[in-house]
Amino acid sequence: MPRPSAARVNKAFAAPPDRALGGGRWHTCGLNRPPECGRIGTKVEHRSACDRAADGSLKRDSAVTAPVRKVIHVDMDAFYASVEQRDDPALRGRPVAVGGSRERGVVAAASYEARVFGVRSAMPSVTARRLCPDLVFVRPRFEVYRGISEEIRTVFSEHTPVIEPLSLDEAYLDVTENLQGLPTATLVARAIRAAIRERTGLVASAGVSYNKFLAKVASDYRKPDALFVITPEMGPAFVEDLAIGRFHGIGPVTETKMRRLGIHTGRDLKARSLEELTAILGSAAPYYHGVARGIDERPVRAHRIRKSIGAENTFSDDSADLDVLAERLAPILDKVAGACAAKGLRGRTVTLKVKFSDFAQVTRARSLASPVGDRASLEAISLGLLRDLYPLRRSVRLLGVALSALDHGESPEPLQLGLAI
């Protein structure tokens, strides 16, 4: 039976989550009658085949012998805000922002009621209040969030030792082999979501696929409270129709630049050669060249410690004016402070990165006795480092800020916000 067209794949993925997950004729494969299931009649047999297809254990080509990885990405839905709504019934159903205040700071997390108004994490509180005048600001309780995160990590560890935490509320799991002996990754994901709900009263979304990139795309595709599967059969066609802004790591600045160059979807990205992508994306080009084809060889790495949090922007026009550069530094600081708040992290070393119009680059750093992560401290230190460079002999084309020597119990890999171009 022929492989489903990209249009059919996308139509199938547009089905409501309950149907895509097994109600009626729809199953975990996300397709009405996928090729692997074309000759399978009963509902039970259909489910079994779909689950095996999602895990790559049902092969169409007997020549394919390489084992297919089984990766789950779990993401707690509006984690901090959901905890506050769980613990305070008066907040339920109301737009809630965790972090900052009505006058200053940044939003660490926003409830789904707040997101309807456009409120997002890492957004300045003033902007959030303007978008949603009835927004309720709640002070973060990171010790509470860390405790719940440990409960969630315990659930993960009951199914696999290969856990790569990305933050308190997000992790990759490699369940190619799982400790419970469940036959499919889809069943593992279902069990994990059910256990999290039962033990914490909170909701998690999960994505199941054969690599990290697609697992993360899948977990985000039907949020909140969803389990979504991208099978090996579906992966390449699914990526082709994926909007470029939904590729993890491509921020608004990079997305705008790519759209100007005619790259709007994964199909457009796939059409570009590695050399063309290198001119646009620099060292990140090989990664995006691969994921545009549904390929991501990155392993799930357990116990990797995050070393830094950073963000940088390349400007459309160069400048040597301190006031202009201070203004351009503001959104960079918003990103870093927002990430610190969202991840519950602080650091003892602030580094300023400056790239000049001739592409020469310098960095300046300041180490502190006590860790910081709030925007006011980051701004004061970064602007001080920038002022120390004056007078400038060249204009500046890029600014970046990074926070390192992080103060945490256990956190994963370095986080780079946005993609400079």
Q: In this structure, are residues 149 and 134 in contact, taking their beta carbons and an 8 Å threshold?
A: no
Mean pLDDT, all residues of the chain: 82
Annotated catalytic residues are 170
Average of per-residue pLDDT across 73-94? 97
Q: Has residue 302 got a pLDDT over 90?
A: no
Residue type, 372: V
pLDDT reading at 314 higher than 80: yes
* CA–centroid distance for 377 within its chain: 26
Tens-digit pLDDT profile for residues 140-172: 998 899 899 999 999 999 999 999 998 889 999
Give yes or no: residues 335 and 410 share one domain.
yes
| pLDDT over 70 (residue 56) | no
Q: Is residue 59 part of a domain?
A: no
Asked if 399 and 329 sit in the same domain, the reply is yes
The answer to whether residues 316 and 384 belong to one domain is yes
Whether the predicted pLDDT of 248 surpasses 80: yes
Last residue of a domain, one of 291, 323, 349: 291
Looking at the predicted structure, is the pLDDT value of residue 296 above 50? yes
Q: Distance between CA 102 and CA 122 in Å, rounded? A: 14
pLDDT at 253 (0 to 100): 80
Mean pLDDT of 304-322: 85
CATH code assigned at 331? 3.30.1490.100
Section 307-322 average pLDDT: 89
Give the pLDDT band of residue 305 (cuts 50, 70, 90).
low
Work out the average pLDDT over 347-354. Answer: 95
Instruction: Report how far residue 20's alpha carbon sits from residue 222's, in angstroms, rounded to the nearest whole number.
Output: 10
Q: Does 318 lie in the same domain as 390?
A: yes
- Say which amino acid occupies 151: E
Mean pLDDT check: name the lowest of 115-129, 360-374, 403-417: 403-417
> What are the b/e assignments for 367-381, b being 16+ CB within 10 Å?
eeeebbbbbebbbeb
Cα–Cα distances (Å) from 130 to 102, 114, 118, 127, 133, in that order, read 10, 12, 10, 5, 6
Comparing 33-47, 197-211, 215-229, 264-278, which segment has the lowest mean pLDDT? 33-47
Same domain, yes or no, for 405 and 329?
yes
Q: Is residue 189 part of a domain?
A: no
Report pLDDT for 16: 34
Same structural domain, 405 and 314: yes
- Evaluate whether residue 137 is within a structural domain: no
Q: How many domains does the chain have?
A: 2
- The answer to whether residues 284 and 319 belong to one domain is no
71 lies in a domain? no
Q: Which structural domain range is residue 393 located in?
A: 308-417
pLDDT tens digits, one per residue of 99-141: 876 666 788 899 999 999 999 988 888 899 999 999 999 999 9
Q: What is the pLDDT of residues 168-199, one digit of tens each?
A: 899 999 999 999 999 999 999 999 999 999 99
pLDDT digits (tens, 9 = 90+) for 256-272: 889 999 999 999 999 99
318 and 410 inside one domain: yes
Q: Answer yes or no: are the C-beta atoms of 303 and 411 closer than 8 Å.
A: no
Q: Do residues 319 and 277 both lie within one domain?
A: no
The answer to the question of residue 408 being in a domain is yes
Sheet with 204-209, side-by-side order of all strands: 163-167, 170-174, 71-76, 204-209, 227-229
Do 328 and 370 share a structural domain?
Answer: yes
pLDDT of residue 24 exceeding 50, the answer is no
pLDDT band at 43 (very low <50, low <70, confident <90, very high): very low
Task: Please say if the pLDDT value at position 369 is more than 70.
Answer: yes
Give the long-range contacts of residues 127-132, CB within 8 A, separation 24 or more.
128/97, 128/100, 129/102, 132/95
Q: Is residue 55 part of a domain?
A: no
Q: Which residues contact 87 (CB under 8 A, 6 or more apart)?
A: 144
Q: What strands, in cross-sheet order, belong to the sheet with 96-98?
A: 109-110, 96-98, 136-138
Residue at a domain's end among 291, 324, 353 = 291
Kindly list the distances between the CA atom of residue 18 and the CA atoms of 26, 58, 74, 158, 272, in Å, as whole numbers in the listed order: 9, 23, 18, 26, 37
pLDDT of residue 54 exceeding 90, the answer is no
Does 82 reside within a domain?
Answer: no
Q: At residue 340, what are phi and psi to the nearest 5 degrees?
A: -60, -45
CATH code of the domain covering residue 279 = 1.10.150
Same domain, 314 and 286: no
325 & 394 share domain: yes
Q: What is the mean pLDDT of residues 285-311?
A: 88
Residue 2 pLDDT level (bands cut at 50, 70, 90): very low
Distance CA 99, CA 86 (A): 17
